[in-house]
Structure 1
Amino acid sequence: MSEAGSADPGAGSADGGSGSRLAALVATWPRRVGVALGGLVGLLVVLYLLGILGVPAVGLEDPGDWGEVTDERTEIVTTVWVSKPNPVGVSLGESVSAEYDIVLNDVLLAEGSKSDIRIPRGNSTTELRTDLINDRLADWWVAYVRANETVTLDANATLRVNTFVGASHDVRRQRTMLNESTPVVDAMSAAVNETAGTYTRSVGAGETGDDLLDESPLGGSDGVTVGYEVRRGWATWGEVSESETTVVFHMLVHNPGDVPVPSSPDGVGVSVDMNDVRTFEAESGDLSAESLGPDAVIAPGETEEVTYRVTMDNERVDDWFTSHVSAEAGPGAEATAVNAQFQVVFENPATGGEIRLPRDSPVGYDCSFRTAILVDGQTSASTCEPPSVPSGP
């Protein structure tokens, strides 16, 4: 009995020892897990420092290319490159996130972002697609005109590698185009300057009234010479707002005849097409003389500068810009063919008829220009040249 009784306490003591050891083991799990994780992180850091395990590199391969271009949308494709040096089987849940924007003349025209871009092993590229913000094209056009037709590009991207050793990479690309040319206003200047020349006719005494003959310094019994001499013409930008753009056509007009002639026209025809998109357009009463009143005249032997204003609705910029960046709609990607035409009609004070400058059809001027906003390997250039005569009076 005494031996059996002495065995029971021993058994209870053994069970208590096992429970204590188990409790002690459980109590150390957090520390053991922490040590293990710390060791893993340390191992990864060592492998990274030794160059065995590398953090993926990321960069901007192409700030943008023109994607799908239609009447409804203008797509921009941005390409990101990624290089993952990790060996086969090593996966740390790596991904890339990107934020990017494209700014023209300080006007934000495109922006986008993409997250959780998976990183395959080795070198790869990923395309990010966004649409041009067409509603802001009018704002860009205003900035473009105010910058004397210089185009500035500012493409920005922030690329982040999401891994155990994160990295952030900022990329910025800038470009300036057409800073030495003004193709649109040059084309209009060249067109109005094509009217330069002398437009006179002799009017016999039987074709005009005695009062007009009396105004002739020659007495006018045998008739008078009536007409104009356009010495030069040019165009300048006028007011530009979010909704409208005004161009001012200038003509330096001399009266080589014998009688006063009107300084304000009865009719004016102006058209400017850019890739067959009609931008500036005016006929007859749509134009008005700026510097002289409707009853003003140019006396014989006198010279006057007369100016005429034409206004464009900036909503037309959208259609033109779409044609400019589309290789199918124009002469090439980021290229524009310009056709500007001009004609002015004055009343003949001797006969009541008209004097056309030029006599038959409107004079025209054709040229082209190109930009390099997103087209790789292309430079901006223009064949549009201002008149060889001075650009002002």
Structure 2
Amino acid sequence: MSLVGGTLGKIAAVFAVGLVVSAAGVGAAVSTGVVSPEPPTVESVENEWGEVSQERTGIRTDIVVNNPNGVGIPGVAGVSYDVAMNDVTVASGSSGGLSLSPGRNEVTLRTHIDNEKIPAWWASHINNGEKTTVSVEPSVKAAFLSKSLPSRDRTFETDMLSSFDSDANQSVTVGNRTLLTVEGTDASWGHATANRTPLRFSGTVHNPNGAPVTFSKLGYEVSMNDVTVAEGTTNGSVEIAADSTGTIDINSSLDNRKLDEWWVSHIRNDETTTLDVSVFAIEQTDDGTRRVPLPFLSQRVIFETDILAGGETNTRTVETGEGFGFEPPVVESVERDWSATDSGTRFSNTVVVNNPNDANSALADVALDAKYRVSLNDVTLFEDRTQSTLAPGRNELQFGGDVSDRTIQQWWVSHVENGERTALRTEGHALADLGFAKLPVGLPAQNRTFETDMLGGFSGGDEAVTVSGRRVATLHDMSSKWGDPTMERTPMVVSGEITNERSRPLTVVKFGYEVKANDVVLADNETHVGTTVPGQTTRSIDTNAYLDNDQIPKWWVGHLEGGERSELSVSYYAVVEYGGQQFTVELDSMSYTDTIETNAFGE
């Protein structure tokens, strides 16, 4: 909805006049030869503004008329003329009887523009593509002698909407946050009548935020020299969806009946007009309706004309100096914490939000609707929502949720399946309801990855199998890796080779194992092997050990409470049968301690 660009003030045409000089009762003079058969002619015309009132605009016209006859024409000539723009006659005048001396005569005439004709001319100007032709057909008549003069036509154009046609990107920031990016604007006229001039204004805007930007209602006002020629509101709210591009359309209509009032102000102000186009959001408060300026959709243009002298129009855009008039809430810090509960664990976030508007501001209290979600490898730990009112200054928002043991186990399974690698994602969305608009508030998002290597301490070196102080076999090329986990347990696949260095056969009956993390026993069991190795022979062996996933949540809470640090202890032993007896052999090279550190929730 806005007048932009070229302005009404581009009308800079010299008002030419059609002159008719007539006389009566001079036939006798002609018949006696006292008057020559040549009519008087107009040599020049100059105009200037006269007295201006609400009803009419005075014009003073100085005309030089040449009487080519050798004698004067005493009081028998008359002068009349019209001023027309686009076939709309805006002024008419006549002199009555004039005496013309031989040669050059200076004649001063006074007429006026009927200000009620200005709306009709304006409509013709808009419908003609902002183009006006001023037409004049001067002629002079005296007695029965006359001579037509060439028609005087002058055409002028305006371009009032050009400064609204733009494809230059403009960022709309509130505080330090980009609220919208204006990708382009344009404006266009509809078909004008004597009463109304339709005007459509639109802006293409992009919302880069993860939440919609919503204005409850938009209003507009177009004024020319403080004469309001258009005003109104949109029907309903205007919303630009999250991460989307949309168009804000405003369909307005200028009240042409106000243009005669503007015309008077323009002439009285030395043909200078300040055109203000204001777009604003509307808020209904207990004290009435409040307007919040939206400067990215508004414009102020000053134009000057020189209509009577035919000078050029001067148009310039000026800054309005208006801002949003408010500051959005700002997130200052986020604190995270884990704690153990009877039902599992609890994760909490404390978000500190500052409302910079003071207690006397209309935004002293801001309604905030916020959501928070934390996930590990797409396993949602918790989702929470809070609706609160932000008072001026520091406000704490609490987000939290109980995390079940099953959820922790689901994460652990994903962690192992992903090669002991986890992607942490923390995301929040908040909308501040300012009354006139709902604007997103940036809650800090966090994307980070952490890794563990709980099997990394396993050694693949040779391990002697000793029975009663004698070496009977050697384990070599041993390895440990994760199998496919389930919700109940996580396999550790142990494999390698054993060489029997004696002549008697040897049987590896089973492996025993224990895994502890921060004193939480994750595994403590034995697994059957049952591989018999003949004397002086090498055989492959493999078996599965298992972590008890029911213990993972307990370990994880301790890990977080310990600053994301765990002391890991892994030990293996083998039960072998040799010479009819079973022996337990500690496998020192396969056993290890390690420190597991992560930085999942730290800064």
* TM-score, normalisation: structure 2: 0.41
1:303 to 229, 245, 259: 245
Once the two structures are superposed, residues 191-247 of structure 1 have per-residue CA deviations (whole angstroms, 9 ceiling, x without a partner) of x99994245799xxxxxxxxxxxxxxxxxxxxxx99543323332223422212222
Greater RCO between the two (CA within 8 Å, min separation 6)?
A: 1
Conserved in 1, the CA contact under 8 Å of 2:218 and 2:238?
no
| 2:434 equivalent in structure 1 | none
Change (3 A) 1:364 1:305: closer
Equivalent position of 1:71 in the other structure: 54
Change (3 A) 1:319 1:267: same
Question: In the alignment, which residue of structure 1 is the partner of 2:224?
Answer: 274
| 1:172-199 Cα shifts (integer Å, max 9, x gaps) | 322222x3x413x345x27x99994245
1:109 is matched with: 90
CA contact (8 A) 1:99 1:159 kept: no
Secondary structure of the 1:259 match is coil
Gaps spanning 5+ residues in structure 1: where? Answer: 1-39, 203-224, 348-353, 386-393
Q: Share of identical aligned residues, percent? A: 24
Unaligned runs of 5+ in 2: 1-28, 285-289, 319-603
Residues of 1 paired with 2:219 and 2:134: CA distance? 36
Note closer, same or farther for the CA distance 1:172–1:373 as it changes in structure 2 (3 Å cut): farther
Instruction: Measure, in 1, the Cα distance between the counterparts of 2:124 and 2:184.
Output: 29
Task: Please state if 1:379 is matched with 2:379.
Answer: no
State the match for 1:4 in structure 2: none
Are 1:81 and 1:125, in contact at CA under 8 Å, matched by a contact in 2? yes
- 1:240–1:57: structure 2 CA closer, same or farther, 3 Å change rule? closer
Q: Provide the rounded CA distance (Å) in 1 between the counterparts of 2:281 and 2:168.
A: 12
Q: Taking structure 1 as reference, are residues 43 and 230 closer, same or farther at Cα in structure 2, changes over 3 Å only?
A: closer
Question: Structure 1 residues 298-307 or 133-142, which shifts more?
Answer: 298-307
Cα 1:254–1:365 change in 2 (3 A) is: closer
CA gap 1:174/1:336 in 2 versus in 1, 3 angstroms: farther
**What SS does the corresponding residue of 1:254 show, helix, strand or coil?**
strand
1:127-276 map, 5 Å: 127-162=108-143, 166-170=145-149, 172-177=151-156, 179=157, 181-183=158-160, 185-186=161-162, 189=164, 196-199=170-173, 228-262=180-214, 265-276=215-226
What letter matches 1:79 in structure 2?
Answer: D
C-alpha change, 1:310 and 1:160, in structure 2 (3 Å) is same
In structure 2, the residue corresponding to 1:235 is in which secondary structure? strand
Classify the secondary structure of the residue corresponding to 1:129.
strand
Could you tell me whether the CA contact under 8 Å between 1:60 and 1:171 is conserved in 2? Answer: no
| Count of residue pairs brought into register by the alignment | 286
> 2:347 corresponds to which residue?
none
Q: Answer whether contact 1:287 1:309 (CA < 8 A) is retained.
A: no
RMSD over aligned Cα atoms:
4.0
Higher mean C-alpha displacement, 149-158 vs 311-320? 149-158
In structure 2, relative to structure 1, the CA distance for the partners of 1:156 and 1:277 (3 Å cut) is farther
Sort the Cα spacing of 1:91 and 1:59 in 2 relative to 1 into closer, same or farther, 3 A: closer
More strand by share: 2
- Secondary structure of 2:138 counterpart: strand
- Give the CA deviation at 1:307: 0.4
Q: Which moved more, 1:130-139 or 1:93-102?
A: 93-102
One-letter code aligned to 2:257: E
User: In 1, Cα distance between the equivalents of 2:74 and 2:261?
Assistant: 45
Change (3 A) 1:173 1:259: same
The change in CA–CA distance for 1:321 and 1:92 in structure 2 (over 3 A counts) is closer
Shift of the 242–171 alpha-carbon distance from structure 1 to 2, 3 Å rule, reads: same
> What corresponds to 1:205 in structure 2?
none
Could you list the per-position Cα deviations for residues 112-154 of structure 1 after superposition, in whole angstroms to 9, with x for gaps in the alignment? 3344322134421212222212222111111122233333222
Separation in 2 of the partners of 1:370 and 1:226?
A: 36
Structure 1 residues 201 and 64: alpha-carbon distance in aligned structure 2, compared to 1, 3 A threshold: closer
Partners of 1:295 and 1:276 lie apart in 2 by 28
Question: 1:339 aligned to 2:276?
Answer: yes
Q: Is the partner of 1:143 in helix, strand or coil?
A: helix
Q: Aligned in 2, Cα 1:226/1:307: closer, same or farther, shift over 3 Å?
A: same
